[in-house]
Structure 1
Amino acid sequence: MTAVKRMAGGAVVLGLALAVAGTAQAGAVLDKIKERGEIVACIKVDYRPFGFRDPSGTMIGLEHDLVDDIQVRLTAALGKPIKVQRIPVIAANRVQFLEQGKCDMLMATMTDTPERRRLIHIVEPNYYASGITVMAKKSTPIKKWDDIRGQTLCTSQGAFWNKEYERKYELKLLAFAGIAESEQALRDGRCIGSLTDDSLAASRLTDKEIWGDYEIKLPTQDTKPWGLAVQHGDNELFKIMTDASIDWHKTGKIVELEKKWGIVPTDFVKDMHEKYKAK
């Protein structure tokens, strides 16, 4: 056997060993959670009402309520009290944080895409869904999607729609790391509108003091589901998350949380409840 072949064969063996080791390590996450008595959750605090801080600084919101439910399930499954450590993330770093092991689970208004499924293990059924729209001042002359062609819009870094919509509508996108920065740029007039998630836009417009002069300009399109995720190979924790998501839809928990947080009932949540309560 030539030296080149021996080196190539060794590289393959090493690669396989590392892959197996990585999977085993990910599968041991549940043991680590039990050992430390805590699950670490990457979650949003800039996306009211799904994740934000109340006046005292406490992290709250619809997704935080679902993480609390996960905490209860883990306490029962592991036979000891489990706490939650919450790590705030933004669209630009949420997937990387989970990949790097900075958290055990990711629930952060993340759209489920094939590209993200290659990086992390996304739970099914999906727990929520939203689509894309444009929020702008009421006086802005936008009546149909083609009206934004060639215009400058604000958006968030890491949003799945950025590249596609930039190409499709020949947009000039100003992408910001955080939602707050993107919204401030909109109010400062640096863009004619915000290319954004319809659920986020609707929640912002409830604040009449800040957003009273703004409105959703276009009908929602490209509605896609949101994914709760763990690391690849983390099958035990994945099973607990899957059972939880099924139960949320079956019992109508997310239906009730939409009411709690003043969210207009969505077809996705209603349809998923009807689907799973019949099983």
Structure 2
Amino acid sequence: MRVRRISSILGGTAALAFALSACGTADVGGGGNDSGDGDGGGETITIGVKYDQPGLGLLKGDAPVGFDVDVATYIAGELGYEPEQIEWAEAASANRESFLQQGTVDMVIATYSITDERRQVVDFAGPYYVAQQDILVKGDNEDIQGPEDLEGKVLCSASGSRSAHNIVDEMEIDAELREAGNYSECLSLLGNGAVDAVTTDNTILAGFAAQNPGTYRMVNNPFGEERYGVGLPAGSTERCEEVNAAIVKMWEEGVALDALKKAFGETDFAYEESTPEVDACK
């Protein structure tokens, strides 16, 4: 198992018109060595995951751990790759599309919600899990109990995520938006009082709350739906079908539930236990 930190230096090409500005660290690679012919078992496969989300994708020592990492490892295995053939790359919310477009990674499994806008530039398999959106506040903040209480408050979300815009644009709640490079930065802003709340998927917030008991409180008033997909380069219909088959098998065998229990079993987060229905590949 190999770990790479990859920065994304975005060009101004038309192919990146929908990609948001990137963030990351060093060592730009040329993507995985997966041939994409559906046979799997190439030299390596490069998978983008989060490195800063407890319970989902968190870099510990020299390797990431969490539910998304377990899902990625299982899917890679079904495609013919052993764990030591996986190269991990840090995929921040803002660079997931560009990494897939540029061939920096072969797939992205990083709390990557399936949306029509994103489907214009990348393909998705899945979903492999269906989350909901929620809100995180300081542990002693009892004033915010739901989205409606964010009126006039400062709300943080990571660059490249649409969570805060769901509240401001879709729910028409007049909150002031503050974007950060990632959710770890949002947590720092929340801790020092620069923002009043952080919003994103309940899976992500549960991990941060569990890592900081008493410091932060998840409102536990979920809303909306976030369908986590496996991001693939555009035109990956055959690979999409293979990944969908792996996702279905992962749930049928109980592997997905075992991974959820391992990630969130010691928290009070009520994770979804029902098998998601995967979309047809196009």
TM-score, normalised relative to structure 1: 0.77
- Give 1:188 shift: 1.0
Q: Which amino acid in the other structure matches residue 274 of structure 2?
A: D
Q: How has the CA–CA distance of structure 1 residues 91 and 44 changed in structure 2, closer, same or farther, with 3 Å as cutoff?
A: same
Aligned match of 1:86: 88
Where do 5+ consecutive residues of structure 2 fail to align? 1-33
Structure 1 distance, partners of 2:112, 2:153, is 26
Q: Which amino acid in the other structure matches residue 157 of structure 2?
A: T
Q: Which amino acid in the other structure matches residue 158 of structure 1?
A: G
Q: How has the CA–CA distance of structure 1 residues 213 and 81 changed in structure 2, closer, same or farther, with 3 Å as cutoff?
A: closer
Contact conserved, 2:201 with 2:226, CA < 8 A, in 1? no
Q: CA RMSD in A?
A: 2.5
Structure 1 distance, partners of 2:108, 2:221, is 29
Structure 2 distance, partners of 1:180, 1:145, is 21
- Give 1:163 shift: 2.5
Moved more, 93-102 or 161-170: 161-170
Within the alignment, does 1:47 sit opposite 2:50 as a pair? no
Match of 1:220 among 204, 219, 222: 222
Q: How has the CA–CA distance of structure 1 residues 238 and 196 changed in structure 2, closer, same or farther, with 3 Å as cutoff?
A: closer
Q: Which amino acid in the other structure matches residue 50 of structure 1?
A: L
Q: Report the secondary structure of 1:30's partner residue.
A: coil
- The structure in which a higher percent of residues are strand is 2
Within the alignment, does 1:271 sit opposite 2:274 as a pair? yes
- Give 1:34 shift: 6.0
- Give 1:169 shift: 0.9
Structure 2 distance, partners of 1:250, 1:33, is 23
Within the alignment, does 1:66 sit opposite 2:68 as a pair? no
Structure 2 distance, partners of 1:145, 1:35, is 46
Aligned match of 2:248: 246
Contact conserved, 2:38 with 2:242, CA < 8 A, in 1? no
Q: How has the CA–CA distance of structure 1 residues 105 and 33 changed in structure 2, closer, same or farther, with 3 Å as cutoff?
A: farther
Moved more, 257-266 or 169-178: 257-266
Q: Report the secondary structure of 2:274's partner residue.
A: helix
The aligned length equals: 239
Aligned match of 1:151: 153
Q: Which has the larger radius of gyration?
A: 1
Contact conserved, 2:133 with 2:226, CA < 8 A, in 1? no
Contact conserved, 1:109 with 1:226, CA < 8 A, in 2? yes
Q: Report the secondary structure of 2:79's partner residue.
A: helix
- Give 1:146 shift: 1.7
Structure 2 distance, partners of 1:43, 1:203, is 15
Structure 2 distance, partners of 1:185, 1:157, is 14
- Give 1:71 shift: 2.8
Structure 1 distance, partners of 2:50, 2:207, is 15
Contact conserved, 1:111 with 1:160, CA < 8 A, in 2? no
TM-score, normalised relative to structure 2: 0.77
Structure 1 distance, partners of 2:132, 2:259, is 19
Contact conserved, 2:55 with 2:263, CA < 8 A, in 1? yes
Deviation by residue 1:110-152 (Cα, 9 ceiling, x = unmatched): 111111112111113x111212221112332113432111211
Q: How has the CA–CA distance of structure 1 residues 272 and 35 changed in structure 2, closer, same or farther, with 3 Å as cutoff?
A: closer
Aligned match of 2:136: 135
Deviation by residue 1:153-203 (Cα, 9 ceiling, x = unmatched): 111111122323223111111111112111111101101111222111112
Structure 2 distance, partners of 1:34, 1:243, is 14
- Give 1:33 shift: 8.8
Moved more, 232-241 or 115-124: 232-241
Contact conserved, 2:139 with 2:214, CA < 8 A, in 1? no
- The structure in which a higher percent of residues are helix is 1
Match of 2:195 among 162, 173, 191: 191
Moved more, 169-178 or 227-236: 227-236
